[in-house]
Amino acid sequence: MKGARAAVEMLEEHGVRVAFGHPGGACLPLYDELYSSKIRHVLVRHEQNAGHMADGYARVLKRPGVCIATSGPGATNLVTGIATAYMDSSPIVAITGQVATSVMGNDAFQEVDAFGIMMPIVKHNWRIEKADDVPRVFREAFHVCTDGRFGPVHIDLPLDVQRDEVSDAAVKQKYTARKVRKKDLSRLLDAIRFIEQADEPVILVGGGGRWSQAGPEILRLSELIGAPVVTTLMGKGSVPEDHPLVLGPVGMHGKMVATHTLNCGDTIVALGTRFSDRSTGKLSEFGKQQKIVHVDIDSSEIAKNVTNVVGLVGDLFTVVHALIAGLERRALKKQTPWLERVAQWKRECACMFDYHGQPVLPQKIIWELNRLLPDDAILTTEVGRHQMWAEHFFDVRQKRMFITSGGLGTMGFGFPAAIGAKIAAPDRFVMDLAGDGSLQMTMKEFATARENGVNVSVVVMNDGYLGMVWQWQKMWYDGRYSAVDLGRIPDFVKIAEAYGCEGIRVEREGELADAIVQSQKSDVPCLVDVVIDPNELMLPIMPPGKSAKEVILGPRCIWKGGQTVASPVPARS
Amino acid sequence: MQVLSLLVHDGWGVMQRITAVFTRKRISIDTILAGKCEKEGCARVLLASEHPQFRRMVEQLRRVHDVLEVEYIENDAEAFALVRSPLGRKTVAGKAAEVDAKVESETGAEYVKAYGAL
């Protein structure tokens, strides 16, 4: 058996049904084997998007997504996709071709040290030197990327290794993983005591809540100890947001009720979060008065950003069960006064964002999406203000899912991720909420979507600017708008039509609902280009490097609780 | 001097993975020692630094797939040595001259030594 054949068989052995990739000179033997394999290959138009598609696929199925690229430029193009997955702990197996070992290091055609380039952005990577190693490395790779904290892995596969013979013994050789300590619950009793004594407990859920699918358990814990649940951007959707105890996202553009509750409580139970600066605000101000119980699967996250915590290491599902088991038999406080205060805050924060305006206001788009998307819809976003509007206002209720590039903030992530998500869950409605800047980075994938019959829909918030940067320049750089005007925006409707997809332009809010409904019915990928008001700011905002006490609310926010500074932005007439 | 003793897979690229952890955190390593060890396919690496955050790298290093064991050794000694004698592995720490003398006295035993770059 050839090395390439062995590689494909290993993919099949691990249940891989779809691979996203782009062929090239250094992975021809591999593609030759894929030709006769049962694995469905999705040809992308740019390798970066292969990474994003595998990422979106993995986030829906919680199983490794596979992407393939060739050596040299193929590998370097893949870097952004892999780094995005690394920051959001998404399991990806990335395979790159490489020049033959005989010429490696000689600056051969399309040679790049992919092994060295990928090293800081993967959990582990391998460069296979002889064909007999192929089965072991592939088995190890699939183990590593889903063992403990998920993360991408990378295999560099030289051309001659793909061509060489693999011995039968090597194929049959089973991989036995090294035993590593995964759990550390030695401080469980401390954690239970903290939670038991708490008068105002809050549960903060991060991306770990989604990866371990521990939503129902977290809600059980929350009901048991009488703690409201707030989420980070990555944790959004880990618990259904229509539950009365779930307050929504915290952080830079989070809901005021969530941020306020998190900072007012006396005990934080942090589940699967790494305390990113975008969630906490100024780190030295965060959690000063609170006792913090920090649960994470990765022991290096404990006390990394926020120190003086009671750390529990282990999979969220297991640890939350252990906490519930430990707390169940104790006489817990009812927490009625605390929950009543939180409920009052929640009412204070619940605004009607069904704003009317011409051009359309972005909040209105989210309002319509909340109303019109099915209860199992998947919403992906790119990066920018539209992402933050979606974070703030989109209602991830019931089985809905929210997929976004939180850690790395990769513009152009949403559209390929939506394609990956749709391939993973063909029966669900998948929509990408995009900005005009982000979409232009990856809109070539309309070709992939059309060709593979992946009927995703894209809603573009088209304001003609790189809105998030524009807003920051307005607020903190005295309105010196440097390089944020996108100038003449291409006609997105015509672009969609050029790729054989459907395009709808919306300029008045009355047309919005019909367009969204139409995009669900369309039998080709569908783009809805909505012209929005470019002067609408994404508020409230916790300014970068500032604490939760310094949130700028803006004229539309109805929040009255907590101490906040006056908005520097003039009220809109 | 703070010392980290690592048991790692023996192979190319391992040192790059280890030093990358310190690069990311902007920590300069004062002394690096690496050599083959008693376990087949493994190597032992000793790292020494004065950086106040050096100790917190233990958990970060555990994340590296090729690192099998990490041990933190805190001492005020100038020098540190790991000696393999017929009785087993033992550590020696103290003044540079003392450590040298102790290593000398273990005639013929294999050893690795680290000096603090003071």
Q: Is A300 on the interface with B (CB under 8 A)?
A: yes
Q: Which chain A residues contact residue B13 at CB under 8 A?
A: 115-116, 119, 127
Identify whether residues A40 and A166 lie together within a single domain. yes
pLDDT higher than threshold 90 for residue B94: no
In a domain, A60, yes or no: yes
Counting residues of chain B whose pLDDT is more than 90, the rounded percentage is 33
Q: Looking at CA atoms only, how far is residue B113 from chain A in angstroms?
A: 28
Question: Quick one: A388 and A519 in the same domain?
Answer: yes
Are A436 and A480 part of one and the same domain?
yes
Which B positions 42-71 lie with beta carbon below 8 A of chain A? 56, 59-60, 62-63, 65-66, 68
Which residues in chain B have Cβ-Cβ distances shorter than 8 Å to A144?
65
Q: Scanning every residue of chain A, which has its alpha carbon at the shortest distance from the alpha carbon of B23?
A: A120
Do A295 and A391 sit in the same domain of this protein? Answer: no
Give the closest of A124, A298, A299 to B65, CB-based. A124
B69 in Cβ contact with B6 (< 8 Å): yes
Domain boundary among A318, A349, A380: A349
Nearest to A299 among B13, B16, B59 (CB): B59
Give B-chain residues touching A123 at CB under 8 angstroms: 63, 65
Is residue A165 domain-shared with residue A193, that is, in the same domain?
no
Contacts of A436 (CB under 8 A, 6+ apart): A460, A461, A462, A463, A464, A465, A486, A489, A492
Q: Which residues of B touch A303 (CB under 8 A)?
A: 56
Final residue of a structural domain among A349, A382, A403: A349
The reply to whether A19 falls in a domain is yes
Coil, strand or helix at A564: coil
Query: Are the beta carbons of A120 and B20 separated by less than 8 Å?
Result: yes
From A283, A315, A349, the end of a domain falls on A349
Å between A57 CA and nearest CA of chain B: 25
Angle value at C-alpha B38, between B35 and B40, nearest 5 degrees: 90
Using DSSP's 3-state secondary structure scheme, residue A176 falls into coil
**A98-104 contacts at long range (C-beta below 8 A, 24 or more positions apart):** A98/A26, A98/A71, A98/A127, A98/A156, A98/A157, A98/A158, A98/A159, A99/A26, A99/A71, A99/A158, A99/A159, A100/A158, A100/A159, A100/A160, A101/A129, A101/A158, A101/A160, A101/A161, A102/A160, A104/A158
String of DSSP letters for B6-44: EEEE-STTHHHHHHHHHHHTT---SEEEEEE-SSTTEEE
Give the minimum alpha-carbon distance from A157 to chain B in angstroms, rounded to a whole number: 16
- Same domain membership, residue A242 and residue A194: yes
Question: What is the rounded distance in angstroms from the CA atom of residue A475 to the CA atom of residue A548?
Answer: 18
> Rg of chain A over CA atoms, in angstroms?
24
Q: For residue A20, give the CATH number of its domain.
A: 3.40.50.970
Q: Is the pLDDT of residue B118 over 70?
A: no
Entry pTM:
0.91
Cβ distance A144 to B63 less than 8 Å, yes or no, reads: no
Structural domain count, chain A: 3
The predicted pLDDT at position A572 comes to: 36
**Whole-number pLDDT of residue A403:** 97
Interface residue A179 vs chain B (CB under 8 A):
no
Closest residue by Cα to residue A75 from A102, A110, A30, A124: A110
Nearest to A300 among B17, B62, B68 (CB): B62
- Check CB contact of A154 with chain B, cutoff 8 Å: no
Residue-level pLDDT at B3: 87
> What is the DSSP secondary-structure string of A496-508?
HHHTT-EEEEE-S
Do A205 and A86 lie in a common domain?
A: no
Q: Name the one residue in this structure whose structure tokens are 């039998």.
A: A523
User: Is A67 inside a domain boundary?
Assistant: yes
Residues with pLDDT less than 70, chain A: 562-573
Instruction: Report which DSSP code applies to A285.
Output: G
For chain A, say whether B15 makes contact (Cβ under 8 Å): no
Paired with B83 in beta bridges are: B90, B111
B109 forms beta bridges with none
What are the residue ranges spanned by the domains of chain B? 2-115
Residue A101 counted as domain residue: yes
Residue B76: the pLDDT is: 67
The pair of three-digit structure tokens given for residue A228, joined into one six-digit string: 């409201």
Amino acid at A84: T
Query: If pLDDT is split at 50, 70 and 90, which confidence band does B116 have?
Result: low
A&B contacts, CB < 8 Å: 26
Contact B16 A116 (CB under 8 A): yes
Q: At what angle do helices A47-61 and A73-87 cross, to 10 degrees?
A: 30
DSSP per-residue codes, A196-239? HH-SSEEEEE-HHHHHTT-HHHHHHHHHHHT--EEE-TTTTTSS
Q: Do B65 and A144 touch (CB under 8 A)?
A: yes
* A334 close contact with B: CB closer than 8 A: no
- Section B25-33 average pLDDT: 91
Does A159 reside within a domain?
A: yes
Residue A111: strand, helix, or coil: coil
Asked whether residue A253 falls in the same domain as residue A152, the answer is no
- Would you state the structure tokens that stand for residue A63, as one six-digit string? 């199983």
Longest dimension (CA), chain B: 41
What CATH number is attached to the domain comprising A197? 3.40.50.1220
* Spatial distance between the Cα atoms of B45 and B57, rounded to a whole number of angstroms: 14
Q: What pLDDT shows up at residue A565?
A: 45
Is A567 part of a structural domain of the chain?
A: no
- Which structural domain, as residue segments, surrounds residue A298? 188-349
* CATH code for the structural domain at B2-115: 3.30.70.260
Same domain, A159 and A194: no
Residues of A in contact with B69 (CB under 8 A): none
- Beta-carbon separation of B13 and A299 below 8 A: no
Please indicate, yes or no, whether residues A345 and A384 belong to a single structural domain of this protein: no
Is the same domain home to A152 and A205?
Answer: no
Instruction: Judge if A451 and A499 occupy the same domain.
Output: yes
Query: Is A263 within the bounds of a domain?
Result: yes
